[in-house]
Structure 1
Amino acid sequence: MRIAVPLEKGKVSSHFGGSERFCIIEVDENGNERSYEEFVPPPHEPGAFPRWFAQQGVDVVITGGIGSRALAMFKRLGIEVRSCVPPEDPREVVRAYVEGRLPEAEEPCTDHHHHHHHHAHHHHEEE
């Protein structure tokens, strides 16, 4: 199984589309790491990342935040998405996924204001 994680300073990125690097961690049927590779993705444009990950043979994407269009495209391509993941070591979140401790993303988890928070939800009041 190939699991992709967007990176920001070596941790899980909170903004999928704005990530400058991604890692792909391959695990065997027992959940043991087989390989770890880092990549610079193609230029960010709508649909580019999901297609690129599909070409890389990715089965699962684990991210801090992802928009609704990217989430829908991954689902259409048959790639599972786990989002709302805190900025932790990518190997740790992959282990949590393998152990069944990361819920599946049913809807996008985003912060369109691009602030970086260390809690699950942050709401801004509109005036």
Structure 2
Amino acid sequence: MKVALSTKNNMVTEHFGHCDYFIVYEIENKEIIGSFLIKNPPHQKGHLPKFLKENGIDVVIAGGIGAMAVNLLEELNIQVIMNVCGHADEVIKKYINNELKSNGEPCSDHHH
């Protein structure tokens, strides 16, 4: 399983599409077996979910995320956990321990 966190300076970013990098953790049997970075490609509306699917991502963890992005990710069978904040290493530990919950609603898309 591959879990991608939208990050900047190893912290989960406030907005999914505006991160510098995705830190991707490979998880097997509740253990992190590897991690790598994917640079966020130049912004194109609706492109990022497909890009993440092409990279084998199963779960996205982000701070704020727009409703359109959530819908596109879910259509691609990528689980979305939103409105998360904190250091990437701490967040992934919470995820593995089933302590991470999605809070609230997607951002309105008015700022795009």
Moved segments of 4+, more than 6 Å: none
Q: Distance in 2 between matches of 1:93 and 1:9?
A: 14
Q: Compute the displacement of 1:95 (Å).
A: 1.4
1:102-124, Cα deviation, whole Å (9 max, x unpaired): 224673147x77xxxxxxxxxxx
Q: Give the residue type in structure 1 aligned to 2:56.
A: G
User: How many residues align structurally?
Assistant: 111
CA contact (8 A) 2:12 2:88 kept: yes
Q: Compute the displacement of 1:34 (Å).
A: 0.7
Is there any run of 5+ residues in structure 2 with no aligned partner, and where? Answer: none
Q: Compute the displacement of 1:24 (Å).
A: 0.5
TM-score (norm 2): 0.89
Secondary structure of the structure 1 residue equivalent to 2:45 = coil
Report 1:64-103 matches (<5 A).
64-86=63-85, 88-103=86-101
Report 1:1-127 matches (<5 A).
1-29=1-29, 31-86=30-85, 88-104=86-102, 107-109=105-107
Q: Give the residue type in structure 2 aligned to 1:93.
A: V
Q: Distance in 1 between matches of 2:68 and 2:103?
A: 13
CA contact (8 A) 1:17 1:66 kept: yes
CA contact (8 A) 2:13 2:63 kept: yes
1:87-114, Cα deviation, whole Å (9 max, x unpaired): x22121111112111224673147x77x
Q: Give the residue type in structure 2 aligned to 1:12.
A: V
Q: Alignment identity in percent? A: 33
Q: Compute the displacement of 1:78 (Å).
A: 0.3
Tell me which protein shows more strand as a share of its residues: 2
Q: CA RMSD in A?
A: 2.0
Could you say which structure has the larger radius of gyration? 1
